[in-house]
């Protein structure tokens, strides 16, 4: 500690690059500080540090972290406590550029596997970034002393020691996450694909604010016929709406909560923090939201179950394009979800291609079947379930024809669900089959990207992988647009995906497996060895994506040949 103080005071007023001399390990009274990387300029990416506290001194009860799900929950809580400590104890701006800023990467309303905090039997480690102070482009050593000697110890004391935290709040956080994990695994045994507990608050504060709507939000209440109960290890028995296998429609008038419910279900693949309102909403972990995505690239995807006999004999068994239409993109999105092993498709008519969803009798009478290459979803949705075991939850406000293929119909009225399956069946009729049935959902085409697709080099220079926000991944020469991958929720996932694609390219891309088989091995490595295996140096800003989002990034690369 005193060694670091002397170094900082000695470099006060020197060139900013003199800060490089402080890299190393320093022992403080209550923790060990490692300065892993020092920035070369006050306007550059901040310096990286990690702090380690002996687990025995941190004194978190063993039962809070000795299972995987509890450990992840505790790590999440500690990271959020560090963030609160920074807000409370760190002054912030201390000169030019990012001087004085301190940061730890945390999640929003969801709880993700991250590498910002690690809890182990020996140490608890927190990884932060820090903007070393500068006056112009000269080191402000005395300001740095205040950050390292005063502010950082206060943050660590406030967040990494159980005695300084609200023990009841810590335990509630861990127990809530554990309950959600149990609830999601219970779905399979209960014959369900999703569950929404009574009392859940589904509306969000705004379209750009994922926190719960605090005013005029009605608690969710399950309709009697669709009610299920489950006993959770910490919360006991809870009651709620269970969505079963098969085809489920969500109907109702505009602004009555249909899309709000679907949005909660698509986020139900993740655990949520207590107080979010959706912490007892669970969806099977491989559920995929699919939509139309005009303009996306498609590489060798078998869309023939939905689209066949295109003009000029264009192949749809191994379909490729640089500029997909609404219908071809939605077909590809479904097939790619099947490749990833999804059990549940989530679809909203508002973000779907109309001609992909339905083709009414009048249009069929006017446009001959041999002139229409699209077999709409309404003719295939039951095949998806019966042939592939893939269920669907579809928001549908404009076409009653889907009553004919639905197993369950839920109507939202002022954000409250009602089971109207019986009434819908009374209105249903036997659907007119397509004259030319769609092809069977056979095994997906075995495909994988070529070496040129996976190269992260830029103009024969060094590897370049970067992000420009949540939905913008730069991978070598490739600019990957992820804005329509709706279950991607954290920029840490985007960062990880760039590194994981490179890891896949180095380890599994040329071993004979298809794309998904190789990526499954990447996911297994991540789960067994942690996110650090993907980065060449120690960072704390990564979060684990799902297999589907990782595959989606590669599937949206535009240039290069696929095999």
**Contact 522/550 with Cβ under 8 angstroms?**
yes
CA distances for 202 relative to 107, 206, 272, angstroms: 19, 12, 12
Average pLDDT of the residues in 222-248: 97
Nearest alpha-carbon partner for 197 in 179, 214, 212, 209? 179
Question: Boundaries of CATH 3.40.50 in the chain?
Answer: 244-445
Any idea which fold 244-445 has?
A: Rossmann fold (3.40.50)
pLDDT digits (tens, 9 = 90+) for 262-275: 999 999 999 999 99
pLDDT digits (tens, 9 = 90+) for 14-61: 999 999 999 999 999 999 999 999 999 999 999 999 999 999 999 999
Given pLDDT bands bounded at 50, 70 and 90, which one contains residue 462? confident
pLDDT digits (tens, 9 = 90+) for 118-141: 999 999 999 999 999 999 989 999
* Residue 433 pLDDT exceeds 60: no
- Kind plus residue range of the DSSP H or E element containing 7: helix 2-10
pLDDT value at position 459?
65
pLDDT digits (tens, 9 = 90+) for 278-303: 999 999 999 999 999 999 999 999 99
* % helix, strand, coil for the chain, step of 5: 35, 20, 40
pLDDT value at position 435?
44
pLDDT value at position 312?
67
Whole-structure pTM value = 0.95
- Kind plus residue range of the DSSP H or E element containing 58: helix 55-58
Sheet holding 281-283, edge to edge: 227-232, 236-244, 192-197, 281-283
């Amino acid at each position: 500690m005193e060694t670091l103080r002397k170094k900082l005071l000695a470099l006060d007023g020197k060139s900013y690059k003199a800060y490089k001399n402080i890299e190393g390990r320093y022992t403080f009274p209550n923790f060990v500080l490692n300065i892993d990387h020092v920035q070369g300029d006050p306007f550059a990416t901040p310096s990286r540090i990690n702090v380690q506290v002996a687990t025995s001194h941190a004194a978190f009860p063993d039962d809070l972290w000795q299972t995987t799900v509890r450990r992840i929950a505790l790590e999440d809580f500690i990271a959020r406590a560090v963030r609160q400590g920074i807000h409370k104890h760190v002054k912030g701006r201390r000169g030019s550029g990012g001087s004085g800023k301190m940061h730890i990467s945390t999640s929003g309303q969801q709880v993700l596997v991250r590498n910002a905090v690690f809890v182990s039997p020996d140490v608890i480690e927190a990884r932060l970034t820090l903007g070393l102070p500068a006056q112009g482009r000269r080191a402000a050593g005395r300001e740095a002393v205040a950050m390292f000697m005063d502010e950082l110890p206060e943050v660590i004391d406030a967040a990494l020691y159980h005695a300084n935290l609200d023990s009841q709040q810590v335990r509630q956080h861990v127990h809530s996450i554990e309950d959600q994990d149990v609830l999601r695994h219970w779905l399979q045994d209960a014959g369900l694909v999703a569950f929404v507990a009574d009392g859940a608050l589904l509306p969000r504060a705004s379209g750009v604010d994922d926190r719960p709507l605090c005013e005029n939000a009605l608690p969710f209440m399950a309709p009697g016929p669709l009610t299920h109960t489950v006993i959770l290890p910490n919360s006991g028995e809870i009651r709620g709406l269970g969505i079963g296998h098969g085809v489920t429609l969500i109907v109702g008038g505009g602004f009555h909560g249909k899309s709000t419910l679907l949005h909660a279900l698509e986020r139900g693949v993740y655990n949520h923090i207590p107080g979010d309102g959706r912490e007892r909403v669970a969806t099977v972990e491989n559920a995929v939201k699919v939509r139309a995505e005009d303009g996306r690239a498609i590489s060798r995807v078998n869309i023939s179950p939905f689209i066949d006999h295109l003009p000029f004999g264009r192949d749809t068994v191994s379909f490729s394009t640089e500029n997909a239409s609404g219908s071809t993109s939605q077909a590809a999105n479904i097939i790619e979800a099947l490749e990833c092993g999804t059990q549940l498709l989530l679809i909203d008519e508002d973000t779907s291609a109309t001609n992909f969803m339905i083709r009414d009798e009048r249009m069929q009478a006017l446009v001959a079947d041999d002139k229409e290459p699209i077999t709409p979803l309404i003719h295939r949705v039951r095949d998806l379930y019966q042939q592939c075991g893939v269920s669907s939850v579809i928001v549908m406000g404009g076409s009653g024809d889907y009553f004919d293929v639905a197993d369950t119909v839920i109507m939202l009225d002022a954000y409250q669900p009602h089971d109207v399956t019986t009434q819908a069946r009374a209105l249903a009729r036997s659907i007119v089959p397509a004259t030319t049935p769609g092809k069977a959902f056979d095994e997906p085409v075995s495909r994988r990207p070529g070496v040129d697709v996976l190269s992260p080099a830029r103009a024969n220079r060094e590897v370049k992988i970067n992000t420009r926000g949540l939905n913008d991944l730069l991978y070598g020469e490739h600019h990957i647009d992820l804005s329509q991958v709706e279950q991607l929720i954290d920029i840490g996932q985007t960062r990880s995906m760039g590194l994981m694609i490179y890891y896949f390219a180095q380890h599994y891309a040329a071993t004979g497996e298809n794309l998904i088989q190789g990526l499954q091995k990447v996911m297994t490595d991540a789960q067994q060895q942690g996110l650090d295996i993907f980065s060449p140096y120690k960072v704390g800003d990564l979060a684990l994506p799902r297999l589907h989002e990782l595959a989606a990034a590669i599937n949206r690369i535009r240039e290069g040949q696929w095999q």
